[in-house]
Each structure stands twice: as structure tokens, then as C-alpha cells.
Amino acid sequence: MAITDSLAPRLDGLSLHPHYIQADHNTTAGTNNFIPYEKAVVIVSAVTTDENDFIVLPPIADVPIGHRVRIIGSAGRDFEVRTPASSNTTINDLDSDGSNEYHIADREVHEFIKRTATGWVAFALNSLGAQVTAVVPDNVSYSPSSSVSASISPSSSRSPSASTSPSSSVSASLSPSSSSSASTSPSASLSPSSSASSSSSASISPSSSLSPSASASSSSSASLSPSASLSPSSSASASQSPSASSSPSASLSPSASVSPSSSQSRSLSPSASKSPSASPSPSA
Amino acid sequence: MGSNNASPIIDGIWFRPHIGKARNDNTGMNTDASSTGNSIPPTAKSISVESVETDANDWITLPSLADVPNGHEFIILARAGANFEMRTPALSGEKINDIDSDGTQEYLVTDTDTVIVRKVNNTAGWVAQSITKLGAVRTAVIPDA
């Protein structure tokens, strides 16, 4: 083996066997909805009943600080994540041992990291590769809804004019930024320009505005004018306010999920869902 | 570990955290609970910064880019009870988020954040992303003076 130091091996590759589990209502450790402490990649392949089913993270004392678990929603349904019953272990700083739960939408990829002796921090990408707005564990039961709720985050940038270039409003800003909002509306984009993107919340906006034409949804970064934007990645915009923003607040709005609806947008943005209606953009 | 040598396929993996302390010099950190260094060794994958020596101007130092492969990634858990800075080695000219961060400028790490750091290459340097304790991705941090 080309490994000279067993405690810090240098490898060409490393594959992790995925561990398949099913979301359920079991609260007894060891059953099929509990993640064994040694697993690092977990695929949730089904739910037993509905979106209120859950999986359970390993006891936090059983893993080292910094331990990471990747959970992939592949159940065809949303589901919840809990910490062991009565453990008072938190996810994103909220007790999630049953009173609250962390929601995972189908097809999302979530990363959990043991941040302290009593809590995990978790964040995710949706199926389009966009950063999911911070998930706030809550006690809201799932209630199907077809609403397409368009989320509206602070910054709207609406490019009025209709240019033809399918470009991607790469947004003005120069500074590096994270916001990876991926818009999916089909049609071609409108002027690349605009996106005055005033927002400061950049990176946290859910933005995934998955609803075509969902219009108003202007996630923080950039040009989401309904018609606009192109393919997913486009407006990956870098919009970013100079204020390197340190305030977690900005985009965090703990107000989570306005509509736990099944629709993609479980939008957590403060001004969330200002009604699906929203006016269609001037274009297209 | 699997039998396929340098590309093992395994069920899971754990990394022992390196324990660090932000300070105003450069001292190596290790995995001992008593470790008080601030320089991250190239092999570290998980770093827990548990204190600062003086204040939020103290720093931790990333490994030299030349010592790690492109794509190398590690996480930093900010548990110092105070903010601190993150630098590249002195006089290295190495960047974080495309800005020279060898001391003239530094990347601010906010207490309780989790920072994911990835090497792009020797020229572009590191890309770092901070995540708040609430699970939100922080707006890109721009290293400054």
C-alpha cells in the first residue's frame, strides 16, 4: 500500500459505501431509520408513510468533533431529520430531538458537521446545485400544498428590458460572493445587466426559484426576472455587497418555511412568499 | 481499510480533530487535547480552534499550498469564544478568495462559524466558505487588513 503514515494516508482516491436507510417513525435506536455512527454517506431511499417520517442522526457523543455526514434525499418524498430522543442535541442551534425537526426536501444533498459537543450544523444544495436557504428545524407537520410560493428575497433585481442574449446576468458586483442562486426559468434572459442586486444577503437566499415564471421571486442575487435567466447556473451571480457581511442575520431569517409545501420553495426568506402571483416580468 | 491500496472503498471515515489556538506567532498544532498551536499542518482535515491568545486580531495559518494537492479540503470549527483571523504563510503571497492573505490581509473567521477551505491551485490559492451556526452560508468573506 502506498501509504506511509497510517494516520495520515495519501491516497489516489477514496470511495465511501453509501448507507441506505428509510425514513420512519421509529424512535428506538438501531431500527432502520437510525444512522449508524460510523457511516459518512447516507441515502434515504424511501419513507414508510409520508413526509412526517424521519431519520435519526447518531448520538453526538459517538463521533468526533468535526465529523461529517452527507445525507442525500432520494426517497421520492421529503422527510425530516432528528437527533436522538431526549438528547437535546441541536441542529443549526435548535433542539431537534423530536420537538423540532430538520426538513430535507427530496433530491437535496445535505451536509451535517458536528460543531460542538451538543450540536450539528447543517447546510445543503438543492437538485440544481443551488445553496438551500438555511433550514430552521421546526415542529411544523407536513401539509401538502401545491402552492408554488414564490419567494421574494430582499434584493430584487429585475431587469426590465428584454435583451436577447441568453447571457447570464452575471451581475454587477465585483466582489467574490457565494450566492449560488440558480434560477431555472426557461426562457432567455433579459438583459444581463441590471441586477442591481442591492441585497446583502447574497449567499443565503434560497433563490432557487424553481418555478418557472414564478416571477417575482427575485432571489438576492441577480436577475431572476421570470422569464429570464437561463439555465440553472446562470445568475450564479456574484452579487455581493461590499459588506462582507458578517451578520448572520441578514439572510437567515429564522422564520423558516412559510410553506412547507411540497413545492420546491420552502423559502425561508424573510419576506417570503409574497404570493405566487407576482407579476410576470416585463419580458417574455 | 479496503484492500485496494491507494484507492480504498470503505464504509466510513473519521478524522481526529487538530486542536488550535489563534495567536500572534506561528506554532504548529496537533491532535493533542493540550495543543495550543495556530499553524495547520498539511495533513489536517478537521481543525477545532478553541481559544485565542489575546483578541480577535490573533490568527491561524493555513498550510503552504505547495504542501497539499489541488482540491485538498479541510474544515475549521470556530470555537474560540472570539473571532479570529485566518492567514496564509508569511511572505508567501498565497491567496484566500483571490486576495493575498499572507498577513497584509486576513480572512475574518467569526466565532461559532464552520469554515470549509479548499485549495484550487498554487496560483489561485484557497477558496474559503463560512457557514454560520444556523446553517446559513455567509456572504463571501473578503480578506482585508
Residue of A nearest to B7 (CA): A13
- B86 closest CA partner among B46, B66, B114, B58: B58
pLDDT band at B7 (very low <50, low <70, confident <90, very high): confident
pLDDT at A263: 37
pLDDT at A169: 41
pLDDT band at A13 (very low <50, low <70, confident <90, very high): confident
Q: Is the pLDDT of residue A57 over 70?
A: yes
Domain residues of chain A, as ranges? 19-125, 147-240+251-264
pLDDT band at A10 (very low <50, low <70, confident <90, very high): confident
Rounded to the nearest angstrom, the minimum Cα separation between A194 and chain B is 20
Out of A19, A40, A134, whose CB is closest to B135? A134
Helices (H) then strands (E): counts for chain B: 0, 11
Rounded to the nearest angstrom, the minimum Cα separation between B81 and chain A is 12
CB contact, 8 Å: B104 with chain A?
no
pLDDT at A5: 59
Rounded to the nearest angstrom, the minimum Cα separation between A277 and chain B is 27
Tell me the average pLDDT across B117-128: 94
pLDDT band at A8 (very low <50, low <70, confident <90, very high): confident
Are B9 and A17 spatial neighbours (Cβ–Cβ below 8 Å)? yes
pLDDT at A231: 37
pLDDT band at B53 (very low <50, low <70, confident <90, very high): very high
Q: Is the pLDDT of residue A240 over 80?
A: no
Give this prediction's pTM.
Answer: 0.67
* CB-based contact B6 A12, cutoff 8 Å: yes
Q: Is the pLDDT of residue B13 over 80?
A: yes
pLDDT tens per residue across span A84-141: 999 999 999 999 999 999 999 999 999 999 999 999 999 999 999 999 999 999 986 7
Cα→Cα distances B4→A13, A41, B1, Å? 10, 20, 9
pLDDT tens per residue across span A260-271: 333 343 433 333
Q: Is the pLDDT of residue B28 over 90?
A: yes
**Contact list, A220 vs chain B (CB under 8 Å):** none
pLDDT tens per residue across span A21-52: 999 999 888 889 999 999 999 999 999 999 99
What is the spatial distance between Cα B60 and Cα B24, in angstroms, rounded to a whole number?
Answer: 8
In this prediction the ipTM stands at 0.89
In CATH, which superfamily holds the domain spanning B18-131? gp9 (2.60.120.640)
What is the spatial distance between Cα B57 and Cα B26, in angstroms, rounded to a whole number?
Answer: 14
* CB-based contact B138 A65, cutoff 8 Å: no
Q: Which CATH class is domain A19-125?
A: mainly beta
| Residue tagged 437510525 (cell numbers) | A34
pLDDT at A4: 55
pLDDT at A174: 37
**Contact list, B108 vs chain A (CB under 8 Å):** 244, 246
* CB-based contact B134 A16, cutoff 8 Å: no
As a whole-number percent, the residues of chain A with pLDDT over 90 amount to: 40
pLDDT band at A7 (very low <50, low <70, confident <90, very high): confident
Rounded to the nearest angstrom, the minimum Cα separation between B5 and chain A is 5
Residue of A nearest to B50 (CA): A116
